[in-house]
Every structure is written in structure tokens, then in C-alpha cells.
Structure 1
Amino acid sequence: MQLQAISNEQQATIEWLRRLGESFHTSFSVVDPHREELPVVYANDAYCAMTGYALEEIVGLPARFLGTENIDQADAADLCRAIRQGEAGTFERMICYKNRRPCWNELTLQPVFGESDVILFTIVAAKDITRRKQAEALVGLQRAMYTGIESGAPLADLLQKICDTVESFFEQGTACSILTVDRDGRFQVGAGNSLPDELLQAVKGQRADGEIGSCGAAYSRKTIVISEDISTDPLWKSLKDMVMGYGFNSCWSLPIFKSEQLVFGSFGIYFSSRHAPSPEELEFISQISPLITLAVNYREQQMEVLRLSYKDPGTDLPNRHFFLDQLQERGVVNSTGFIAFISILEYPDIIDQYGHRAGDTLIRKLGRRLGALHLSAADCTARFSGATLSFYSDVEAAGMDGALKKISEVLTEPLEVADMRLFPTVKVGVVPLAAAVQNIEEWLRSADSALSEAKKQPGEAVVFFDAEWNEHLLQEQKLAQELTPALLREEVRMYLQPKVNLSTGEVIGFEALARWYSAEYGHVSPDVFISAAERTGKIRLLEQQMLNQVLEWLRSRQDRGLCLRQVAVNISADHFFHCTFSEDMKRLVTLAGIRPELIRFELTESIGFTDFDAAIRVFCQLKQDGFACSIDDFGTGYSSLSYLQMLPVSEIKIDRSFILNLEEEGTQAIVRAIIQLAGNLKMTPVAEGIELDAQREFLLDAGCAVGQGYYFYRPLPVEEADEL
């Protein structure tokens, strides 16, 4: 293409740019901003080498040559406007190289001015950022899989998102498909909106073997299969006419692995042109199959964990975890209503005489009666523990007595259990949500206390949480007020609970636990003062004191030539997300002269929900500094699976509530699933709260080798721990 005449000043500038371009290794072209079509007037050798075009092929092309038809037209107009107005700036564009393969470029505009500040040309520096954009897309897809499944998005929509993303990195008209194989060994369509429905229907239901194009071959051979030319490839014999009739001439197919050896489908990419993948393209598409596997496996695993976590296996009623989550989701802290804990006097006798199955039958029938009451739209019923049903309703205070009367009436009606007609004796503990502390855990504790009082009374009983217990709560608040001066006096001391090898009993580390002895109140429960520290904003001070005591103890042992074992310190979200947390931790261990790998930070699994991106940054910084990190109390919140894989932690601590209920089959299944999950993520599972040898043996059999609990050691004062 011939250019119109240019000025002498412009010609001199072009000659200067040509000389510069011979030694300038950065790819760039030069655009004339004065012409309507914004033609390219020069490109250096590096730019020609990158795009595959000769200089004479590029010169004269309009500026829209700097983008493909895939780019947003408004965005393209911004680029042209910036060139015309002599603005500097950076744009990201898909560039179609001479080989027809689109690649992402970062274009940096730099205007060149002549005399009197008149713009002569715009230099467009180009950098190929395709691999960066692919990496960003893969990370984005991974997060989209987790968040999509978490939000309940259909799996088909998530798989289609993978297809759409891959298509965006190839030539116009590229189409992708995801085929899964059912139990009968036949193909089913998982995604493929860009392919004609007739083609998808032709493949659907076909036996998955090497006769169904390159996708069938990839599935049966368990390897990538490239059909560079469908017209001559025997794999496409049965579908060739249909596929080519829709304009597709080549196809790349990859197997989708369920596990290391098990294939459950194939991923196909269809092109109008005939070509094989470049090494870079092959590397990119090879990372797609694991993403599909991640989406499918994670969806199945989460659904199974949800089922196990939210259902009581003996009764099929919702369980304690479901009840707690429902209270959180419904925002009961700011609502009216009541929580009731319900127990049946005859339950222990039924268990003793007829066994646990009969006890489950009793609880199931009573739970279904509660569920059928419909006192309000917000009613929620669950088996909170073995012998206790929990019930929530948001009825107004004026209707509470009537609601509780209905509960008693419906539960005391006779029912059949183990061929016996039973007239249940109902015990009910109630806490109105307007009473006590505005806190779910406090309400549950209050309802449990009320139930304990109801059990002391003869016959049927409904007991409300009353002023006497309220006095007890007021005492807890007084303790909270005493905590601050106690911290200033350093009355809260460190105790150490050993972590042991479950096979040998050998001590392999410790967990630092805070203990407070008050001159006025005596021994104060950690649940009380730690909760108070969080409410009063003193949790950072408390945790810093614990860490200082840990470092002081380790330094003492180091100075005496004694062996050093790793010590875990519990860290709250408030402390973890403080702007100087990682810096403070590094400074403290440096001042103490202690290796950072001797310190492990334990954080609850909800830490990622506060600010996931910030959590990743802090975890990575801690790991870089040499610290170890654990997820504590794992299993009490199912959403953790959506980010656990992405956190650089090396240990999962199984919540003690699961260990205490290991006699229940459902709990055993959950614990095995958590241990297996930890193994898959190459993390160490650690069981908390081991009190019985049977629990230790179960955990060993399930693959958990490390634990702690009263069966081995109670939390020990420093002097006793020093002797281990």
C-alpha cells in the first residue's frame, strides 16, 4: 500500500526511527496520526519477527491492524482517539499474526513531536502478553469454579465458562465441547454452546471409543489427540461430512481424568483452519483438562460433604451444623422468637432396652412432628445431639406461650417405637431471643441450661432461661471488665498441650493455650475470657503476650541446650489482618533469636471469608518468612472447601466436636472425608480432643497420625512441659 506524500520533517524522523529500530530490540511500529486511516509508516525488525509480516506488508496498513475483530469496538475507538490526539497510554489488544493465530499484545503509545510541539508520529511499542493473559484466565477460571459451585451455579454453566474462555484465545469461529461418559460408557454433552446442536446430538449417546472422532480417541487412548485435517483423518470417518459441513476442519482433543488413571470424558477444540498446536498452545490447553476435573470432583465432593455435614445419619433429620448455619443465615441475632432444646425422658430407656436404632426412630418421628407444626415461616428443626432436638421459631413474644403449648401437645401424643406404644414425657428448655446476650452461642448455652433445669423437674416441663442465669451472664461481663487490667499485670499465663504421634505417643510439638487465674474469681474459663478479649478489642494484646511467652520458653530451652519442638499459637482474624502482623511476627522471633519454623500459627477456617485476597497475601508472607500455618477447628464450616486448596497452609486440625462424637457413623464418615481431603491437598491432619483409646485407633486406621487431647496430656504449665 502506497502512502501519500509526507513532510520533510516526517521523512527525517522516519529515517531516524529506522536507524534506531536496527538496534532497538523492543518491537514497535510507527503510525501517522494525520491520516484518516492512521496508517503504519514503519515497523522495526523485532516487530516484523514477532508478527511474521515483512515490512512492506505492514507499511500502509491502517491502525485497526493493531487489533482483531474480537476486540471491543468502543475500546478500539479509544486507541484510535489516543493516537489522533497524541496521547501516551497503554492498551491491551488481541493481534492477529500472519499465521492467523491471535495473540494478546500490550501496546504502549508514545507520541513523537516536531518543531512547535506539532505531533509527527506515534510510536506503538508492542509486547506479547499472551502467556500472561492465559495464566490470568486459568486463575480466574479456577476461582470461578469454586465460587460458582459455592453459589449453587449449575455444573453445565461452569463447564461452558471454561469453553468460552478457551475459545477467546483462538481464531474467530473456534468452538469447544466437553463430553462426559456415563455409567453405560456413552458420551453425554457437558458443554458446547458454540457447536451446532445437530452435531452435539449426533455425538450424544454414542459409545465412547476411538470411532467417535478425536474426542473418542482421546478418551480411549488417555492422551491428547490432534486431528490437523479432519478430511483425511480416519478417526472422523463417521462424522466427517457433518463436521466439515459446519466449517470445522481440524480438532484438538484432550482426555479428562477423574483420577490419575480413570478418564471420565474428553475436551475438544474445533477450528475452521487446518493446523496443529504450537508448543505454547499445547501447554495452555493441557491445563484445561485439570480445571474440568477440579470442577466436577469438587462439586461431587462438596455435595457429599454437605450431605454428611448437614444430615443426621440415624434419623435423616437436619443436624447441629445445619441448625447453626440456619440461625446465622436468617439473622436471628436481630429478630424475635425463641430457641428451644427438647429432650424425651424415656430416650435412655429406649436405648437400653431396644438399641440405638429404636432411639433414632423415636427422635425421627418427634422431629418430623416438630417440622410439621409450621408455627412460622422461619421454623427450623434439627437433631442437635444424640438425645436433644433443637427448634427455632420467630413467633412474636405474645404468641410464644401458645407456640410452646402446641409443641408439648404434638410431642406428647403416643407413637409406636419398636412394637411398643410410647407416651413421651417431654422436657423443654427455652430462651427468648430478646433475653440474655445478643449472641447465638450464648443463646444456645442458655437453652441448654434451661433444658438441664427442666430435666430436674418431675413429669413434663417447660423451663425458660431466667434471672438467676442472667446473673451468671452478668458475672461473665464483669470478668470481661477485669480482663484488661489482668493483661496489663500479665496474669494470663501460657500452658502447653503436647501434640503427639498417635502410634508411638512421642511428643512432636505443642499448642500454646492461654490460662487465667484471677485473685477474685479464681480459674476463669478460656471460653469466657477469650470471647471477652475479642469483644473488647484486647485479643491482639492477649495473643502477643502468648507469643512472647512462647518465645521466652523456647529461648530458655535453647540456652540450656535442650531440644526444641514447634509450638502452635492461636491467632484471631482481627490480629491476622492487622497491617503489621507479619512484620511484627518476624521482628519478634528475630529479637528472641528463635528460628521462625519453630512457630506455627493456627487460624480458624473462617479466616478466608473475611478477606480472601488479603488472607492469601498474609499467608504467603508468613510462609516466605519461614513460619508454618494451620487451619484450626476444620469441619465446622463447609464453605472452607472453596478456598482451602489455595491457601499455603500445611496442617488441618479436625474440630474436637467430631472426635467427641466418633461413635456416630455419620461423624466417622465426615472425619474420614476430612482426613482424605487433607491427604489430597498434601496437608497433615491433626485430631483435637482425643480422650479415648478407641478414638486414637479409629484415627490411625483412617490415616491420621498426629493428635492431641486428654488421653495423652492435659494442657501443662511451663514447668511440667519443660520436663518432656
Structure 2
Amino acid sequence: MPSSILKKILVIDDDSITRKALVKILNNAGYEIFEADNGNLAINMFKIHTPDLILLDVVMPGMNGYEVCAKLRLLIDYHNLPILMLTGLTDAESVNKAFNAGATDYITKPINWTLLEQRVRYAIRATDMHRSLQTNKAKLEQAQHIAKIGYWEIQLDSNEVVCSSELMQLLNLNKSLNNRPIEKFLKMVHPDDFDRLQKTFINSINNAKPFQIEHRIIRNDGKEMHVQQQTEIIFDINNNPISIIGTLQDISEIKSAKDLISYQQYYDSLTDLPNRKSFMVHSKNVIDGPDHRNEIIVTCLIGVDKLKIINETLGHDAADEVILAYTQRLKTLNSGNNIYISRYKDDSFALLATAIMDYLQVNDLITQITALSKKPIWLGEHEIHISTSIGLSLFPLDNDDFDIILKGAENALNRARDNGGAQAVYYSEKMNRKARARMDIERDIRKGLERDEFVIYYQPQIDIHSGLVSGMEALVRWMHPVKGIILPPAFISVAEESGLIKQLGNVVLRKSCQQTAVWNRRGLGGLRVGVNLSPKQLLNKDFQNEVVSAIKDSGLPPSLLDLEITESMAVKNIKNVIASLKQFQDIGVTISMDDFGTGYSALSYIRQLPINIIKIDRSFVKDIGAGDDGSIAKAVIAMAHSLGKTVIAEGVETEVQLDFMFENGCEEIQGFYFSQPLPADEFEKFVIQHNTLQTRQHSN
């Protein structure tokens, strides 16, 4: 530990296994640990123990991590308490939500135990540095009042200077400047600041106006001092200026403190390179600067491959040494002063190269970068061989917007790494067009929600024994004013990524409940409507209220609303999903597991989940009767029945498939054999005609 006094850490996680693991690891690292399994207890323990750092789980029953973090921030500010959020949610919205609540950083689940101690140590160290800086700043402000200010006076008729003893000490002068011409005083000014200060003095004397200026002074002992001067003009009884009185304040420490703060904001403490923020500012200024005609500007991201392995095998100190050694090699590239290098992330660097005239020079740059990793790095007895993945994006060839240029370089770097690393990949305009197309879709979705362009189609679900329509699955369609009907695969992923899925899902939920309630009031036979959920909807704390509101406003009985989740959704968030689903079952809502069999859930998981219906995925149905004996579908039906669940088979398209499901006890079927998804008016006609026909056949 960096200090003999134990640092205190409060671990907040409702998962006892994760919490105990965190406590054990951090205890072994020399920290004093306190633990809490809920938000209210955590806040009380914080008030009692005043920890130096908090590890906080995001998803907890009752008060979630975001709420706990926000309440803690009301008790202590951002800089004096690092809060590291533990989360399995890595999308941009969840990360932004953590930081908006006041989180210092976040650690993704599953937790990388090797890196955990390092992240904790650096967070505590940064807080200690901030506190130390604030303390020094307070001391500096106090010292300025009593020992860092001197005064002087210039008589305008004689141009002579009179100064105080404090000023003499400040300037390290043994003899007084009293009654010396102002030129003697100005000789102490730093040569680079002399002309500016002299002009300021002359303008002040000629115009009888005070001034304030910062500049440097070279003392007799050769020490450079940053000073601030403030002046006032003294007038005689006839309002004529007779002298200038000024104060000279040593602001060297303040200047150093500001420089330190600026350094921490814009530089990486390990490598002494500009950080990502600096790179963004510098690059935008360059690209938005003067005309770059006939010039290529290269944005290059360089990732050190397999740094994680070095960290896990030799420790984070060894990984830091590798980064430092590679940093020194990168700095050798900037011989022509046209390359700006920064540390972009823990394992990657960013490089902006200007004055590149053609592709040959770009290839030369790649060759130089690649050559930097050919020689091994020695760490004591260990010979470390590294490789690098390189992602490049070119201005203006790929785009003229730096944000898109940078995103292109990131995409190219990811492709290089996905392909095995140790290679350079260019960003292509094709990928850029995809990015723009995605932005267009997101924009159109927002407009479509405002204009009510999303409608619901319904695919019938048939009771296999009575032959009657028992329910339907609600499927959203986008009636685009230009492109016509757009099916979900073209826009659902964008809605998920952008966070619009919550608003879209609520539209589908409300419209489906309202329409189903109308049909049931018309006597169509107690139809049940299945509504597909996204993970963001299900785990949203406000979603239960939205469901209750939709049921209440529509008048639909809760049992006739079927919320459909996917197998993969359930397994990834099993604990939180179970808690959410139980809330819905408590109010009488039906729960289905959609696409069953396509994921990887164990039987033990299925037993835990509070579900009523299991839907066999169409992939296990489509080949029955065409070489597939249906053994998987048969096994799913048997398993579901053993657990007391109803079974719906999706994708039934042939009579052979229908007979198979009947023979094996499947309760309901859904598929093109009976109907494709239909708009509301056509669905209503289908139900009336189908049920009428079935009733006649049974009566005969």
C-alpha cells in the first residue's frame, strides 16, 4: 500500500458471492473493507466509516446503484470520493447514466480480478493527489496575503521608482531600487516579455490609465518568477497624473498549480504523453484549420496486442513498463515535427500525421510504426515480444468530419484485432456509408415515433385441439412515408443501440393492449396477445409501471397480456430477470419464453424462471417432414410439460408439421399454415371466418 494508514473501501453488492470475492481480494491487497448488500445500509455505513473508495453494483433490488451513487454525491463531492460502478451493462446509455449519477469510473462484469486492484489503487491515488493539490492551493492563497506581495511607485516627473522592502525581498535584491530610473526596473523583466511590458507602461503613462499584466522576471539569483502587476494612477488636486502605484505579486506557485491541473486534465501520467482529450482537441483544431489542399491527414490508432496477457502473467507494473518502452519508440517517429502522439486508452495510442502528400508516405508511416515492435522489450530477465494492431482513417479521403474520421480509425483498429492482430487496416468509405445509414435510420425512427408511423400486425395462434384462435403475437411494422413497409430486422437493432427501443416498445405495448381489449369486448373469444420485450425494457425500473398503466388504460385483463422474453435475454441477466418477471406474474400477466432452444440455458435456469409458456423456435420446426424426425421439438415439448408449461410451436407451415405437433401434445401453433402476420382489420376478419368455420366443422 502507498501509505501506512489503511485505506477504507465500502463494497456494495446484493450478490453475496461477488461481494465476498471483492472483500477477499481487497483485504489481501491491504485495504480495510466494509460491506453492504443494499443501498440504504450502504448510505448509513458511509456516514459511519467515511470510506476512501466505494465499489457499487448497478443492479440491486430496491435502490439501484445509480440512485445510491446520486445520494452519496449529495454527501460528498466528486473529487473527494471515487465511486467505481460494477456493471454488466456496457452500452453507451448505461455508461453515461453511471457518470451522470456521479460515478468516477466503471468496472464491467464479469470482473477482471487481475485489473481490479490496479483500478482501485489508481482511483485512490488520484483522489489523494487532488486533495494534496487543494491543500497546497489553500496554503498558497494564505501566503499571498502576507508574504508574496510588494509595492512600487513611479514618479512621472522624474521617471524614478520607489519600492517597498517586501518587494526587495521578493526580487532577491540586496540594494534598493529607490530613486532609480524605471529602465533599471525593466531590466529584470524576462527578454520575451520585455517589449510587451514596456509598451504597457508607456501607454499607461501617456493615457493616464491603470493596467494589469502578467509577465516573468529574472531575479538576481537567476531564478525565473511569474508575477502579476496591478496599477492605479495618482492625480494631483488639478486632476493631473503625478505617479503610478502598483503591486507586484509572485504568482509562480499559482501558475505551477494551474499547470499541474492542466497537465492532469490533458496528459497521461504514466507516459507523459497528451491524453485522449488532448488528441481530440488538437486534431479538430488541425482539421478545422487552414486549407489542407493536396495534403492527407492520417488519423492512426495503434493497439498493443495482448497487453492483457502480460498484465495477467507478469503484473500491471510489467505492463506499464512495456507501455513506457513502446512510448519511447513512438516518440522517435516525430523527427519532422508533423506527428502528434497521444495515449488513447490503456493499451492503445493515437497518432495524427500531417503534411502527408500521397499513399506512399502513408505506407512509409505504417512501415515505420510496424518496425517499432520488431525488437523485443527486456524487463529484467524477461524478453517481451510485442505486436501492434493499426487502424487508419484518412482526411479528406474517407471523410471531412473528424468525429467520423476517428470513429473510422476505431472501427479499423477493431477489425485489425478481430483478424488476429499484428496488422494495419484502413477505414473504408463503405463502412462510413453504413455509419451514415445507421444515423439516418435513427433519425427516421425518432420522426416515425413522433408521427405515429409504427403499426402492429398480428399473427394468429391456434389452439390445436379446438382449432380456434386462442391469441396472437404482436409484431411491429414501420410504415415509412418514403420506403413503405419496413420489417423489424431493418430497424430494431438501431432502436436498441440508440435507446429508442424503450419508447418504441411502449408504443407496441399500448397499441397491442388497446386493440386486444377492443376485440375481446366484441366477443372474439378471450384472445391473448403476445408482446416481445427487449432487455432494456425488461430491466428498466419504470417498465412495470408502464405495463400496469397500459393494462389499466386499455381495460385488458392482465392474464390476456403475454410478455415474451428470449432465452438469451434470460440467461445473461438471470437474477434480475427473475425478479422482474415475478413482479409481472404477481399482477397476473402471462410470461412466455420465445425462440426456445436457440440459446444456451440449462434446465436449472428454466426451472427458476417464472414462465407460463415455452415457444419452440421455428428452426426446430421447419424441417419436420423434410428429413427431420422432430426429435428436438419432441424433447422440448416433453421437457416443458414436465415443468408444467404450455407449448406453442412457431413456424408451422405444413400439414405434416401440424400433425406432428398434435400427436406430441403441443397446445398451440403459430405459422404460415394458418396465416402470416396481418394488420388489425384483416386479423379481425380472419378470426371471425376461421372460428366460424371451425365451429361448423365441430358441430357437424
Band the TM-score falls in, shorter-chain normalisation: 0.3 to 0.5
Work out which of the two has the higher radius of gyration on C-alpha atoms and give 1 or 2: 2
